[in-house]
Structures are given as C-alpha cells and as structure tokens.
Chains A and B, each alone.
Chain A
Amino acid sequence: MTTTSAPGAAPGAGRAARGPGASAVAVLRLQTTKRFETFGSPLVVLGTGLLATALVALVVWRATPAGSGTWVEVSRGLQLVLWWLVGYMGYNGVQSVATTFPLALTLGTTRAAFTAGTVAHHVLVSAHVTLVALALLGLEQLTDRWFTGVHLLDSRLLGDGDPVRLVAILFLSQLAALSLGGAFAAVWVRHGPRVTFASGVAVVLVLALVAALVVPGVADLAGAFRLWWLSVLAVAVIAVCALVQTLALRRAAVR
C-alpha cells in the first residue's frame, strides 16, 4: 500500500543537520560521563592491588626470620597490581561497547564515530592509570621504598623501577585488555553469544597451537627474549582488536 501524505513533494535533500553526536568526541565524552567509574575505579583497583601486595609482604615478613629479606623478594615478585588491572580493564572494555553502543546509536551517532570514540576512551583510561602509577613509582623511589623497603611498583614484571618500562608495560597491557574486551563485546553485539563463545574458543585453540609450535624452542627463545617483543605483541593485539571492533560494529544492528 502506498499513500503519500505530502503528495508531489520531493524529499528535501540535505535537510538533515550534522549534529555533534556524529563526532567521535561526543562518544568519548559519553564514555567518560561516569567520571568515578572512568577515572576513579581503576585507581581503586590500583590502590587495592598495592595494598594487597604490601599486606602479603607484611605476612611474609612476620613469618620469616628477621633479616632474611624474603619478604622483599616476595614483594618484588608479586604482580597483583598488573593482573588486577588487566582483569578490570577487560570488563571495562566489554561494557564500553556492549552496553554503551545501543545508547550511542539511540542518541545519534555513526558506528565509525562510536568505534573511534571508544578506542580514544581506551587510550585515555590506560594513559590515566599509567600516569598515576608512574607518579607512585616516583614516590616509591623518593621514599626509599615507602620507608620500609617494600617493593610495590618497583617490581620485576613492572620494569624493576625503570619508569620507561613501567609506562610501556602498564599502558600496553591495559590497552590490550580494554581492546580485547571491546572486540569480544563488538562480536557479541554483531553476532550474539554463540559466535562470541566460538570466537573465544577459536582464540584459545590458536594460542594453544602457537604454544605447541613454540615449546620445542622455548629455551632458545628465552635466551634471546627481549622485552620489546611483548610491546610489539601488545601493539599487534590492540591493532587487531580495533580492526575486529570496527568490522563487527560496521554492520551491527540494534534490535
């Protein structure tokens, strides 16, 4: 059935106005509108991780003979902050796409602008936490390990006190976790839970296959290992995840 309510009227080409919603900046501001969740919660995770490390070191100090130094080694080896932040950022990445995308479309934005704004949000959050951690590392070194000798951010996996390595490790690991979460959420939005689950299984299988191929030469690899390898790997993961998010959301419908 065809009925024209404005007979003979041509569609007014170009009457649609370009709103700020079309820009990635508006999406970035949408993503950061929950200020505490965006900027406060990761710091709570960071602080809790540091506190937990200190408490474990305290327990070890009490449990070992005086002057053994074991507790210092334990605090240097604990990487609670890194794992907790990575876990939290994984969740953050998922919700930044899965529950924010429908509202962004409702408010009036394009998928391309949403993806760009979300990636910018991920970079911003990672940089924010990294800068705070860097400041804390400076404080840790200024206070001679918090006046006690305990190593919180000056730990092995976080660069042994090297600020450049700390920045690279923390920034890239968080950004990679946010990107992975965002990519899986984008696949979920586009294809639903079954394809997302299958994608997760596929990723695990690929990783297992790579591990099986690498294991025979692991000793040689370990000898030649350089930290920048991980940086390259993280950058590759981030790039692939951004691509997946872009491709998945490009045709995603909200239903």
Chain B
Amino acid sequence: MSTTPAAATGGPAVRVRGATRRFAGAPALDDVTFDVAEHSVCGLLGRNGAGKTTLMSLLAGHDRPDAGTVEVLGEQPFENARAAGASLLVRDDQRYPDDFHLAHVLRVGPLFHPAWDAALAAEVVERFRIPSKPQVKKFSRGQRSALGILLGLASRAPLTILDEPVLGLDATARGHFGELLVREVSEHPRTVVLSTHLVDEVERVLDRVLVLDHGRLVLDAGVDEARDRAHVVLGPAEAVESATAGLRALSSRRVGGFLELVLEGPAAPATARAARAAGLQVRPAGLQELVAALGAGDAEPPATPRPAPVPSATPAPGAPR
C-alpha cells in the first residue's frame, strides 16, 4: 500500500505531543511527539521494551501519560466514552474472561462496535481456522493472534490498534492478514496502528512507520521516505571501506573478510557506480535493515546471504541511536 496523504480527510487521527510515561521511575516513553493521519496504516516498530505497547496503551486510553498530551480523533482518550467507543486495542497477550469461547467473542463484539461486520468475522474464522470448541485460554499462540485479528478487523473501529497481530501465525495466515487488511482499509477507510517485529511481512501494508528505541521516537517517516533513509554496501571489507570512506555508517557487520555497511541516505549515483565497478553490492536498505541500523531492530536481523554464520550486528562507532 502506498503512502496516501490524500486519504487523510480530516486532520490527524492521532496527535501525540511530548508524551512521557514512566514505570517505577524508569521512562518507558520519553517525550514522544508525532501525528498519524486519518485513514492511514501506521507501523510501530522497535525492539522488545522499546515502548510500543506502552504507546498503544496511551492511544487506546488504557493508560495515560505522566507528561505530554495524547489526542485520538480529537479527544483525549483516557476515561473518555466517545474516544473509547471509537478505538480498539488488541494486545499480543490479550486476556479473555474465564471459560470464554469463540462464540462469546462473536457475541460481544457487536455490543461495543456498531459497525461490526459479522460476515467479515465469519470469513476470518474460516481463513484462519479459528477453532470454536476449545476455550480461548487453550488456544495456541497463532490462534490467539487470529482471534485478535478477528476483533480488530470485524470491529471496524475508526482507530484500530493491533499489538503484534501476526505473532505465531504461519506464512499462509500472515498472507491472509495482509490481504484482509489492505482490502478492509481500502473498502472501509479507518486508521490502523500496528506493532510488529516482522517488519518485512507487513511493510507492504504500511503507509508510515514510527520506530521507537528505549522509549524515544527515532524515526517517523512515510514508508517510501524511510526506504530512502539508508542504503547497503556489501563486499570484501577493504573494498567496502575504500568505496565508502567519508560516508556516515549507521551500522556495520563483518563476517570473515566480508563487510556490510548500512549507510545514511540514498546511494549517490557516482558512489554506487564506483562501488559496483569494484565488485560490491549496492542496494537500498530494507525497512528491517534500517530499523536494525537505528539500533532498534532485533539483535540478528535478516541479512543478505553470506558465506558464513552471521554474528551479531554492531552499530558503527558514532552511529546515532
């Protein structure tokens, strides 16, 4: 899905200014400021503990900031009936009442969301093969994620927030999720905020990405813009170092005699030509690589095929975190 500013019909759906949240004195979110355009799909990326779930809790009114402001659809969300009725946050560890079954979820959804689509809910049940007999608490990890997707999509909540929606899903189910999300957002425009560690899996459905690291917002950009934020040069170490001398590296990884650098900004045509002439690979950085380079990715991000087992990535000296 491309970035579609035109889809933003009435100002930002989410407006966060200087939001800070501390737990036991330690900041989980630190002075975070951003907007999310109405009817856009925003990816919230970052490592475990980066502050993603805390931020989503603030957006849904499940929690409130110690400092700063949060507005959702023009309302502060905490203990606000109008905002609460217009948003839905499904957590990765979403809890359900004792003895809850699929039928109960299907029964209570429409009580809270008037736009609930029962046909869509039935389609999700079928596509994701959500079982009806076992209690929800006995669901597998993937089945719980599928149930969360059902709630999120069928609710048609104007602000739908999904915390790790594809966690534990198999590849087929992840494909279903992407397809349904694209279809839903195009046919029934709404604002979606979703967090994930599987950046590559959901990249195509995102309009915008927010990257958090240690509670701070380190990247807020459209997906296309984010892709232009960095490029990768890979090859024999000496040749890479020679070709990229003077360029700002966000991260580096050395395997044997090979070196992979994630460099800030798009590759300059002349530099890219020279590097290729020297037998080096030059390509735009993927979103996952950019997130990793910003110090916010998983310790071992997926990388270009290489001749030996991959050690952990290390940020280049002086690289921003």
Contact = CB atoms under 8 A, between A and B. Distances in A.
Interface string A8-37: 011111111111111000100110011001
Interface residues of B, number: 65
A6 B74 contact: no
A95 interface: yes
Contact of B113 (A15, A107, A111): A107
B11 A14 contact: no
Given A6-B37, A10-B11, A21-B113, A103 B96 contact: yes
A135 B204 CA distance: 63
Contacts of B112: 19-21, 26, 30, 107-109
B1 to A, nearest CB: 14
Interface in B59-97: 60-64, 71-75, 79-91, 94-97
A102 B94 contact: yes
A243 interface: no
Interface in B17-73: 33-38, 40, 53-54, 57, 60-64, 71-73
Interface stretch (B122-130, B212-220, B255-263): B212-220
Contact of B222 (A5, A9, A106, A111): A5
Nearest to A25: B111
A143 interface: no
B279 interface: no
A199 interface: no
Nearest to B161: A106
Interface string B102-134: 001001110111100000000000000000000
A107 B95 CA distance: 12
Contact of B62 (A29, A37, A105): A105
B10 A9 contact: yes
A99 interface: yes
B266 to A, nearest CB: 18
A121 to B, nearest CB: 12
A17 B215 CA distance: 30
Contacts of A2: 33-34, 220
Contacts of A9: 8, 10-12
A16 B57 CA distance: 17
Nearest to A109: B84
Most chain A beta-carbon neighbours within 10 Å: one of B64, B85, B95, B108? B85
A13 B74 contact: yes
A23 B92 CA distance: 26
Contact of A113 (B81, B114, B219): B81
A253 B29 CA distance: 15
A22 B37 contact: no
B113 A253 contact: no
A22 B81 contact: yes
A255 B84 contact: no
B38 A6 contact: yes
A15 B80 CA distance: 13
B233 interface: no
B221 interface: yes
A106 B85 contact: no
27 contacts: A1-B219, A4-B35, A5-B37, A6-B12, A6-B35, A9-B11, A9-B12, A15-B74, A16-B75, A16-B86, A17-B86, A18-B82, A19-B86, A19-B114, A20-B85, A20-B114, A22-B85, A30-B108, A100-B97, A106-B90, A106-B94, A106-B151, A107-B111, A109-B84, A109-B112, A253-B57, A253-B64
